[in-house]
Amino acid sequence: MALPRDIDARKYSRVAKQRLDEAKLILDKLELFAAAEYMGGYAVECILKALVLTVTPPSQRPPAGEKTVEWLKNEFGHDLSALRRWAAARGAQMPRDIADGFVFVATWDLQSRYELGPGSLESADRFLTAAASIVKWADSRM
């Protein structure tokens, strides 16, 4: 997996892969299913932000650094579907199999951190499988 040339996209890409690895560890070793999904959601958010930065011409976004972080926060927040739409409008259309998994992953949001309960192995496994596919696909587009 090559790293994006854009410095901010590179940072988000690296964080996405780290968060996905952490999510898998949380699932496999700690069996904390809800926590694994939560971390997996962050992985997808970060890789989609890296993709957005990669497909958006520099003239259409702020310069690298804090202004880019602020732009991403203001423009998208943590909305996975908005990130997907932005990237798709600039040529990064998800293939059908990735898009099918995205439908499930897109139910993730920050509010899940306030939900009690352990979650389920089936849900976490499905979520992380889809998240890993999204990360791999987006990485291949950079």
Please state the domain count of the chain: 1
Q: What is the chain's pLDDT, residue by residue, as a tens digit (142 residues)?
A: 567 788 899 999 999 999 999 999 999 999 999 999 999 999 999 999 999 999 998 888 887 777 898 999 999 999 999 999 999 999 999 999 999 999 999 988 777 767 777 889 999 999 999 999 999 999 999 8
1 domain residue, yes or no? no
The pLDDT, as a whole number, for residue 2 is: 65
> Which domain covers residue 60, as residue numbers?
7-140
Q: Return d(Cα 107, Cα 105) in angstroms, integer.
A: 5
| pLDDT score at 94 | 97
CATH of the domain at 78: 1.20.120.330
N-terminal to C-terminal alpha carbon distance within the chain? 9
In Å, what is the CA distance from 1 to each residue of 36, 39, 58, 67, 140? 23, 21, 23, 27, 7
* DSSP character at residue 117: S
